[in-house]
Copies of this chain bind each other. A is one copy, B any other.
Amino acid sequence: MSQTVSASYDATQGADHVIDPNIDEFSPVEDVIRKAGDLRRIRSNPDYWYPVAWSHELKRGKTIGTRYAGQPVALVRPMDGTVFALEDRCAHRQVPLSLGKVSGEAVQCCYHGWAYGRSGRCIDVPYLGKGKLPNGVRTYPCREEGGLIFIFPGDPAKAESTPFPQLASVGNTEYKTRRFGERVACHYSFMHENLMDMNHQFMHMKQMGQMKPRFLGGKDEPALVEARYSFARTGGKQPWGETFIFGERRDASEKYAHKDVMTIRTEYPYQTLRIATGDEPPVMNLWIVYVPQDVEEKTCRVFGLLSIRRPKAKLVLDIAWPFLVAFTERIFKEDRDIVELEQAAWNELGGDHNQEVFPVINMLRRLLLRCGVPMNADGKTEASVP
The answer to whether B127 touches A4, judged by C-beta atoms less than 8 angstroms apart, is yes
B residues within 8 A CB of A161?
none
Q: Is the CB of B345 within 8 A of A95?
A: yes
Q: How far is the CA of A216 from the CA of B358 in the complex (A)?
A: 68
Please tell me the size bucket of the interface on A. Answer: 35 or more
Main secondary structure of the interface of A (DSSP, over half): loop
A350 / chain B contacts, CB cutoff of 8 Å = 385
Q: Is the CB of A202 within 8 A of B112?
A: yes
Given A1-B129, A357-B134, A338 contacting B95 (CB threshold 8 A): yes
Check A377 for interface membership: any CB of B closer than 8 A.
no
CA–CA, A96 and B346, complex, Å: 12
Number of copies: 3
The answer to the question of A354 belonging to the interface, with a C-beta cut-off of 8 Å to chain B, is: yes
Residue of B nearest to A337 (CB): B99
Tell me, yes or no, whether A2 is within 8 Å of chain B by CB.
Answer: yes
A338 contact set on B, CB distance < 8 A: 95, 110-111
Q: Which residue of B lies closest to A214 (CB)?
A: B127
Q: Contact at A94–B4, with CB atoms within 8 Å?
A: no
Complex: A194 Cα to B27 Cα, angstroms: 53
Contacting residues, chain B, for A129 (C-beta < 8 A): 1-2
List of B residues within 8 angstroms of A4 by Cβ: 127
Complex alpha-carbon distance, A94 and B355, angstroms: 9
Any chain B CB within 8 A of the CB of A283?
A: no
Q: Considering the chains assembled together, what is the distance between the CA atoms of A260 and B197 in angstroms?
A: 68
Q: A2-B128, A112-B202, A338-B110 are in contact. Are A355 and B92 (CB under 8 A)?
A: yes
A94 to B342, Cβ gap below 8 A? yes
A199 within 8 A of B: yes
Extra A-B contacts (10), CB below 8 Å, given A93-B342, A127-B199: A2-B128, A92-B354, A93-B345, A94-B353, A96-B341, A111-B338, A112-B203, A113-B202, A126-B202, A127-B215
